[in-house]
Structure 1
Amino acid sequence: MKLLRLLPMTAMALASMSAMADSTTDLVNALVAKGVLTEEEGKLLSKGHESEKAAQDKVLEKSSKSGGKVTISDAIDNATIYGDIRARYEFRRGEDSSNITEDRERGRYKLVLGVKTNAGDFYSDIALSMGANGRSDNSTFGNAANSSNGSNTKETVYVKRALLGWKVTDWLKVEAGRVANPLYTTPMVWDGDLTFEGLVEKVEYQWGKVNLFANFAQSQYIGDRQDFTIINNDRVTNDLMAFQGGAKFDINERVSAKAALTFTKFSNDHAPGAGPFVPGLGSDSGRGVSLGTTTTATNDIRTIEIPAEVVFKLNDSMKLMAFSDYVTNLDGKDRYEAAVAAATASSAARGAVIRSAGHDDKAWLLGVGLSSQQGKQPKRGDWSSRLWYQDVGIYALDPNTVDSDFMDSRVNMKGIVLKGEYFLRDNVVVNLAVGHANRKNDKLSAAASQSDIALNLDSFSLYQMDITYRF
């Protein structure tokens, strides 16, 4: 409280000092006019007083802006605290080929708290959140072990982002640490909660009316984890490399488009852990059934992805969007042959089934969206909705990175998703989402590295409703 009372007094003192500096300048000018001082002596004195006045004005401006707010460091230009709190109701239902069903109903909550800073050409982003695994920041109500007699355990907070950035030029940024996903993509390929760990380069360049962009990432992780595999007594790190180039441009005053081409590859073409990725069989059923062997393996994944969208401006606030995504795994046949060989070595019959199922190494998504937004930033009354269908082959994508919600973290699934949101306040959003999916290839499992339903899914439904408070 004493500090707050001193702030206005300090500001008044500084203002008085500034006024004194102005009076001194007038006095010097008068002495020069009467011949007491030469012009050179007057300029020298005036220059000194002007420097003092500029320094005092800078202190005064900083004092008036800070008020009673907490400052971090004189080296920091500004700092912004941000975050969100979300409460969610969720219902999941899964069914396998033997008509065994599993329902999972739960309340969930999420907390993210972060701070962004800028200091000249450098910036940072530090954020904390719940959720030990990268593909989910959620915690379940009453999530306690059975032996705890129902006690409600306190959740652990983890580092979600620890980003150091450098704006090298007007068109190039370099970021290092635990970095937000820089790629223009869709949840079919990358879960929205995932971050990269390593180095990222971002390029944005305006070429006439076309906004060119490029994103490059070198990351040491496999989906939710990273892996250091020992091969022939050598320890090898499996790095993920991603290279993306694209453009955003106006077709006319009411129509704009965006598209990109992305190449992604794991730097070491080997299988983490015990062996290559091998999907389970579609006929396997029951709770806790195996979805395959080493389903976290990233051997033979070298993909080309093409995300795109076209936006139609219907009026000043309403927009219609058509969007898509297409992925092909250039090494899909090798991934398939490695699975056949590994399965045959343990069981000729299982190997024969996997061979007969083919090497589906394509994934695609097609959707539409409609939104109403009054300005550049969302406001009370704004809303949006998106509807899409996606189809993911068993060997097309990395099971460690696909969306954890609407396909239950699985590949070899196809289905439809509807999402909608409405802003009750500028910072309060209500979301409603529903989705339904089926296994694509009945001969093979709906393979996953992690999943919430402990069945070899033949069909899957998900319903979510949540409210988010942003600050």
Structure 2
Amino acid sequence: MQRGQMEIIHVDHRDGTIRRCAAPLPIQRRRDQRQGPSGSPGAGIAGTNDWQERERERYRLRLGLRGTLMDDWFFGLRLETSNNARSTNVTFGDDTASDTPGGGGPFEKNSDTVYVGQAYGGYKGFPGFTFTAGRMPNPIINTRMVWDPDINPEGLAEQWKRTFVFGAERPPPASFSKDTKAVVAAKPPEPFLKLDLFANFGQFVYDDANPENPLGARKTTDANGPTQEVPNHDAFLLAWQVGARFNFPKSFYFQFAPTLYNYTGNGDTFNIHYIGGDPRLTNSDSLAQNQTGINSLLVFDMPVEFGWKAWGIPMRIFGDFATNFEGDDRASAAGQPGQGSQRYAYQAGLGIGQLKKRGDWQINLWYQNIQQYALDPNLIDDDIFNAQENLHGIAAQASYNLTAAVNLQLTYAHGWWYNHNLGTGGNVGSLAIATNPTTEYNFFTADLNINF
């Protein structure tokens, strides 16, 4: 059975930061502030060193179940709060109204709704293969630089894994215990190398066009320049990943997973060309430019990880590198033909410790840079650097297991505007505070998670 999870959060004041502090009750107080573009102050127009502020209390609940139906068939189901693909948090008091069909007043439940976060089934009848269909946990090895960990893609996935052992020796013969009353089996020596080869493929339904064949003439748009017909075919995100994990004695390992992402079709929602904002415009005008287009994205991604133990403590170096092979075309479509070099994203960090039992702890430190035309703005993590591109900075996360089921996690991130000639593109619906460009970003959270 899959454990349910509840996040208990309290958020406090910050200067240019988001701050969450742990609270003994399931509440979150959240205050978001960010510097906006410089300009003459006015209603809705940010001035020099101006920022926007928001405070909210939140909770999160996720209940899951997974199991085997018969033979090699399996299933999974998870219910969760919030309809946001990149967050299952719910804000207290956001549905207060003086008069609604439910009666009006405080403590209404319009946003306190349970949604289906995962619903999938699969088959493992062929050795080494796993086939999954539905709304599933992400089958692709990734980092939060490319994928928000809350996203559960919809579609099909195929996975394969094969393990090879090199340098294995026969175990020494069994011997008697000290009292000569029992035979003690000898522990076999570790092989020199255990190699795991794997392949993960995904065909995800990104956007369903409705209808595919409308009555009468198709809709048109001028958003991409000359008048064009709005696409009437579904958009799919295809993921192609192969990789290997090298496991050596003494807990040494190295893993890499090169991945290619490409898009087929345009759908009827994300077909307008991505622009990503403009620092020469007011904040509202910059945000009004397209922030979600998936045009000219052919992304190569390479997450890597190297781990070992020192003084009995697990340690690891991790990183990720990505480039958009169509960065020149994406920049030109955004009206920035000289900025095609802004196609890269990379992450590098160090992790210490692990989380398994009571008293375990873990610390992760990393640097991250996502350039303006590198990645899909609809998929990147919405906590670290506010789900915006053209930001770079550092992040740190410390976790401690109060019990095997209760975990306290502290996260801090500080980001800077990277290329000042461009905006900081990001899906406006996922931004904690809608500013573009975001010149500086500070983020602190204290999350208390209860697994049951």
Fold agreement, TM-score > 0.5: yes
1:280-317 Cα deviation digits (max 9, x unpaired): 2123344x44335321110110111000010111144x
Aligned pair in 2 of structure 1 residues 94, 289: CA closer, same or farther (>3 Å)? farther
Distance across 2 between alignment mates of 1:144 and 1:263: 41
8 Å CA contact retained: 2:58, 2:90:
yes
Distance across 1 between alignment mates of 2:354 and 2:134: 36
8 Å CA contact retained: 1:270, 1:300:
no
1:115-143 Cα deviation digits (max 9, x unpaired): 11212200000000011120111112222
Look up the match of 2:66.
116
Distance across 2 between alignment mates of 1:116 and 1:372: 25
Deviates more, 1:191-200 or 1:307-316: 307-316
Distance across 1 between alignment mates of 2:231 and 2:271: 15
Look up the match of 2:122.
165
Shift of 1:81: 5.3
1:401-420 matched pairs, under 5 angstroms: 401-420=379-398
Amino acid paired to 1:176: A
8 Å CA contact retained: 1:303, 1:327:
yes
8 Å CA contact retained: 1:254, 1:314:
no
Task: Point out where structure 1 has 5 or more consecutive residues left out of the alignment.
Answer: 1-79, 341-353
* Aligned pair partner of 1:211 in 191, 196, 200: 196
SS in 1 for 2:334: helix
Q: Over alpha carbons, which structure has the higher Rg?
A: 1
Shift of 1:409: 1.3
Q: Is residue 2:289 matched to residue 1:293?
A: yes
Look up the match of 2:22.
none
* Aligned pair partner of 1:448 in 426, 432, 436: 426
Aligned pair in 2 of structure 1 residues 273, 382: CA closer, same or farther (>3 Å)? closer
8 Å CA contact retained: 1:134, 1:195:
yes
Look up the match of 2:244.
247
Shift of 1:274: 6.1
Distance across 2 between alignment mates of 1:97 and 1:339: 19
Q: Is residue 2:444 matched to residue 1:463?
A: yes
Shift of 1:255: 1.7
SS in 1 for 2:6: strand
Shift of 1:251: 4.0
Distance across 1 between alignment mates of 2:115 and 2:4: 14
Distance across 2 between alignment mates of 1:160 and 1:210: 34
Look up the match of 1:311.
307
1:232-381 matched pairs, under 5 angstroms: 232=229, 235-268=232-265, 272-273=269-270, 275-286=272-283, 288-291=284-287, 293-316=289-312, 318-340=313-335, 354-372=336-354, 378-381=356-359
Task: Point out where structure 2 has 5 or more consecutive residues left out of the alignment.
Answer: 12-18, 20-31, 39-48, 166-193, 213-217, 219-227
Aligned pair in 2 of structure 1 residues 129, 372: CA closer, same or farther (>3 Å)? closer
SS in 2 for 1:291: helix
Look up the match of 1:182.
139
8 Å CA contact retained: 1:166, 1:174:
yes
Shift of 1:86: 1.2
Distance across 2 between alignment mates of 1:183 and 1:300: 21
Distance across 1 between alignment mates of 2:314 and 2:450: 25
SS in 2 for 1:407: helix
Aligned pair in 2 of structure 1 residues 281, 204: CA closer, same or farther (>3 Å)? same
Aligned pair in 2 of structure 1 residues 147, 447: CA closer, same or farther (>3 Å)? farther
Aligned pair in 2 of structure 1 residues 170, 111: CA closer, same or farther (>3 Å)? same
8 Å CA contact retained: 2:327, 2:340:
no
Per the normalisation by structure 1, the TM-score is: 0.74
Amino acid paired to 2:434: A
Deviates more, 1:274-283 or 1:173-182: 274-283
Distance across 1 between alignment mates of 2:361 and 2:372: 35
* Aligned pair partner of 1:141 in 87, 92, 101: 92
Look up the match of 1:151.
106
Deviates more, 1:255-264 or 1:364-373: 364-373
Aligned pair in 2 of structure 1 residues 252, 192: CA closer, same or farther (>3 Å)? same
Q: Is residue 2:50 matched to residue 1:94?
A: no
SS in 1 for 2:8: strand
**Aligned residue-pair number:** 370
Shift of 1:156: 0.8
Look up the match of 1:220.
205
8 Å CA contact retained: 1:433, 1:465:
yes
Aligned pair in 2 of structure 1 residues 234, 88: CA closer, same or farther (>3 Å)? closer
Aligned pair in 2 of structure 1 residues 268, 381: CA closer, same or farther (>3 Å)? same
8 Å CA contact retained: 1:281, 1:445:
yes
Distance across 2 between alignment mates of 1:184 and 1:273: 25
Shift of 1:147: 4.7
Distance across 2 between alignment mates of 1:251 and 1:268: 44
8 Å CA contact retained: 2:364, 2:398:
yes
Shift of 1:145: 4.3
Give the number of the structure whose residues are more often helix, by fraction: 1
SS in 2 for 1:220: strand
1:2-41 matched pairs, under 5 angstroms: none
Distance across 2 between alignment mates of 1:274 and 1:82: 38
Shift of 1:275: 2.5
Amino acid paired to 1:83: G
Look up the match of 2:373.
395
Distance across 2 between alignment mates of 1:295 and 1:103: 22
8 Å CA contact retained: 1:265, 1:301:
yes
Distance across 2 between alignment mates of 1:311 and 1:81: 27
8 Å CA contact retained: 2:119, 2:136:
yes
